[in-house]
Structure 1
C-alpha cells in the first residue's frame, strides 16, 4: 500500500512522508487514494492532501484505540459476539473499501484470481500459505494481463 502511495508523496519531505506512512492502515490508504485520484482528476496539485490524510489517520487511530479499549473492557461479558453478527464487521469493511476502488470488470480479474487461488490454498495447504499464494497469483495475473489492468 505504501508503494502505491509513493508517487503521491514525492512532494513531501521525508520527515513528513515517513510518519504519514507509519499511521497508514487499509482504511486510511483506501480513502487517501480515492481522495488523491479525485484531486488529480480535478487538476489539483499536489493530488495527495497531507491535511486530509492526517485528519483521517488521527480519527481512525482514535476510534480504533477507543473501540479496542471498550472491547477489552466489556468483551468478556458479551461472550460469543458472532451470535449478533459482529463477525461480519471485517468482511463488511473490506467490501466497502472494494466498492470504492472498483474500476470495472477487467481490473477485477487479478482480484478474482487471487481470491480463487488463496481459497484453494486455504483449503488444501497447511498454515497461512494462502496469504502469499493469493498475493503472488494476483501479481502474476496483472503481469500476464499487461499494464492495462
Structure 2
C-alpha cells in the first residue's frame, strides 16, 4: 500500500481557499449555538449561566451533555463528569496541534481555548503549517463569535419557542458532531477488514460507544451513560493493539 504523502510534500493551498473553508465550518457550526441556548434554557439554566458556559467551556458536545443531563434530573456531579469526559478529547487534539501549529509560547494559552473538533479538523486538513495556522485561527474566531452570539439569542428566545425537542432543535449540535466524525471516517481503503479497523478505528469506537450508551439508558441515572460510553475508546485501543501484536 502506498504511503500517504507528508505535509511537506503537498502543494501549498491558496490563502483564499483556506479562509473560505474555515469560514464555512465556523459559520455553519456556530449557528448551532442557538440550539444550545434553547436547550440550556429549557433545562432550567439562566441566560447568564448559559452564556458563561459558552464563553468559558466552548466545546459543544460537553455543553450539550451537561445541560441535557441536568434537564433530565441527573446529579450535578454525574453531569459534570460526563461533560469532562467528552471534553478530554480536546487534550489529545492539543498534543497533535502543538507540533503542527508550533505557536509562540505567549499565544498558546489563548489558542488552547479554541482547540475543539472543528478547528482541529480544519487545521489537520491543511498541507502546510502556514495554512494550518490560518485555518485554525479563522475557524476559531468565526466559530467562537458565532457560537456565543447565537447562544445568547437562543437563550433569550427559548420561552417563545417552547420545548426544543418538539422542534428538533436539540439535535443540531450532535448532528454537527456526527457530520465531522463521518468526514473523518471516510476512505478506509480496500485492505482487509481487520487492517481497516486497526488503521481507522473511529467508526468502530463510535459504534461501540453508541451501543454502550443505549444499553445503559434504561438502567442508570441521567448523565451516567456518557461516562460508560467513554470506555469505548480505551477498549478499542486495547483490542487493536493486542490483535496488532499477534498479527
* TM-score, normalised via structure 1 length: 0.76
Q: Report deviation, 1:47.
A: 7.6
Structure 2 residue 239 is matched with structure 1 residue 144: yes
SS of equivalent to 2:106: helix
Tell me if structure 2 keeps the 8 A contact 1:110–1:141.
yes
Distance 1:91 1:136 in 2: 19
Change in 2 beyond 3 A, CA 1:112/1:63: same
SS of equivalent to 1:14: coil
Give the structure 2 partner of residue 97 of structure 1: 180
Count of residue correspondences: 140
Give the structure 1 partner of residue 37 of structure 2: none
Structure 2: gaps (5+ residues) = 1-89, 189-195
Structure 1: gaps (5+ residues) = none
Structure 1 consecutive aligned stretches of length 4 or more whose deviation exceeds 6 Å: none
Cα deviation, 1:87-141, whole Å, max 9, x if unaligned, reads 3212321221112211436221122112211221232222422222211232111
Distance 2:130 2:229 in 1: 31
Distance 2:241 2:233 in 1: 13
What is the Cα-based RMSD across aligned positions, in Å?
Answer: 2.5
Change in 2 beyond 3 A, CA 1:100/1:3: same
Q: Which of 220, 226, 230 is 1:125 aligned to?
A: 220
Distance 1:73 1:126 in 2: 29
Change in 2 beyond 3 A, CA 1:29/1:123: farther
SS of equivalent to 1:51: helix
Tell me if structure 2 keeps the 8 A contact 1:8–1:47.
no
Q: Which of 13, 24, 27 is 2:104 aligned to?
A: 13
Higher helix share: 1
Tell me if structure 2 keeps the 8 A contact 1:113–1:137.
yes
Q: Report deviation, 1:17.
A: 2.4
Bigger RCO (CA 8 Å, 6+ sep): 2
Superposition pairs for residues 63-74 of structure 1, below 5 Å?
63-74=146-157
